């Protein structure tokens, strides 16, 4: 087993051994089920009078808007909790290479959130099915593709949060920056664009993490690359800062 594989194994052991991991997973699942069912009920009520079909994953997409913050916080805490408890000192003693350590954390967090995010999306579709099934236009391949896109989106948000957490080292500050990137920045750019009549700002807003993720989950793969670039940039910046600052 090479050094990176050992680091990944150690990070996976830490991740599955702490209770907070399972609390986050349970919270994400409950949030998704609640939002998906409520959204499906509203959609079904609207469609009764319209007679229009709906995609099976439509209610789950609304749930992702909430669950992404849960998984983002999970990714962030993989780093910030170690700085808060000074456990990072022990971690770096075991894995001296900062680059290897952060790559291992990113791989473990990304894989865990991809699986958990995909599972929450599947269960969200299953929970909303009794309410929407009469109005569905069901295509198994399309549904599977959308669920995989949602899982990838949540994994990338978690990786983005991990990179931000490495830069900021504080949970409160990291959550604030993540919230701004996902929600405040695109709305702010759109508002300024409307006030100043600058169309370019609307285009820029579409390339921020939140809107890019929405378009990726809606079936535009190119925007998955945009979101990946955000996550990679955050992790690379985290590596750069970690290698130049003391633990």
Q: Phi/psi of residue 197, each to 5°?
A: 60, 50
Distance CA 198, CA 157 (A): 28
Which secondary-structure segment (H or E) carries 233? Answer: helix 222-244
- 172 within 8 A of 134, measured Cβ to Cβ: no
- The confidence score (pLDDT) of residue 52 equals 64
Contacts of 87 (CB under 8 A, 6+ apart): 81
- The confidence score (pLDDT) of residue 96 equals 85
- The confidence score (pLDDT) of residue 184 equals 93
Distance CA 177, CA 198 (A): 25
Contacts of 197 (CB under 8 A, 6+ apart): none
Domain-wise residue ranges, the chain: 3-244
What is the phi-psi region of residue 201: left when phi exceeds 0, alpha when psi lies from -120 to 50, beta otherwise? alpha
Single out the residue of 235, 242, 243 nearest to residue 103, CA to CA. Answer: 235
Provide the strand spans (E) within 93-165: none
Strand partners, 136: 54
Q: What is the pLDDT of residues 107-161, one digit of tens each?
A: 999 999 999 999 999 998 888 877 777 766 667 788 889 999 999 999 999 999 9
Number of other CB atoms surrounding residue 245 within 10 Å: 11
- Per residue of the chain (247 residues), give pLDDT as tens: 588 888 888 888 888 888 888 888 888 888 888 888 888 777 766 666 565 667 778 788 888 988 999 999 999 999 999 998 888 888 888 888 899 999 999 999 999 999 999 999 999 888 887 777 776 666 778 888 999 999 999 999 999 999 999 999 999 999 999 999 999 999 999 888 888 877 888 899 999 999 999 999 988 999 999 999 999 999 999 999 998 876 6
Q: What pTM does this model have?
A: 0.91
- The confidence score (pLDDT) of residue 193 equals 83
- The confidence score (pLDDT) of residue 15 equals 85
- The confidence score (pLDDT) of residue 143 equals 83
Rounded to a whole number, what is the distance in angstroms from the first to the last CA of the chain?
27
- The confidence score (pLDDT) of residue 51 equals 58
């Amino acid at each position: 087993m090479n050094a990176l594989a050992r680091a990944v194994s150690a990070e996976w052991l830490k991740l599955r051994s702490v209770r907070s991991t399972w609390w986050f997973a349970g919270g994400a699942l409950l949030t998704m089920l609640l939002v998906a069912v409520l959204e499906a009920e509203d959609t079904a009520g609207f469609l009764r009078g319209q007679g229009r079909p709906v995609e099976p994953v439509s209610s789950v997409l609304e749930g992702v808007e909430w669950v992404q913050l849960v998984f983002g916080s999970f990714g962030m805490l993989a780093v910030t909790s170690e700085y808060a408890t000074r456990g990072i000192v022990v971690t770096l003693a075991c894995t001296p290479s900062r680059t290897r350590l952060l790559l291992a954390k990113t791989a473990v967090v990304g894989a865990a959130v991809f699986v958990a995010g995909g599972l929450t999306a599947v269960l969200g579709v299953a929970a909303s099915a009794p309410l929407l099934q009469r109005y569905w236009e069901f295509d198994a391949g399309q549904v599977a593709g959308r669920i995989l896109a949602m899982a990838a989106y949540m994994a990338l948000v978690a990786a983005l949060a991990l990179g931000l957490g490495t830069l900021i080292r504080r949970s409160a500050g990291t959550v604030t920056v993540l919230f701004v990137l996902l929600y405040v920045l695109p709305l702010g750019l759109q508002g300024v664009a409307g006030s100043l009549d600058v169309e370019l700002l609307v285009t820029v807003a579409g390339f921020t993490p939140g809107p890019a993720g929405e378009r990726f989950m809606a079936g535009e793969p190119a925007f998955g690359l945009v979101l990946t670039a955000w996550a990679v940039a955050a992790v690379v910046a985290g590596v750069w800062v970690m290698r130049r600052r003391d633990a």
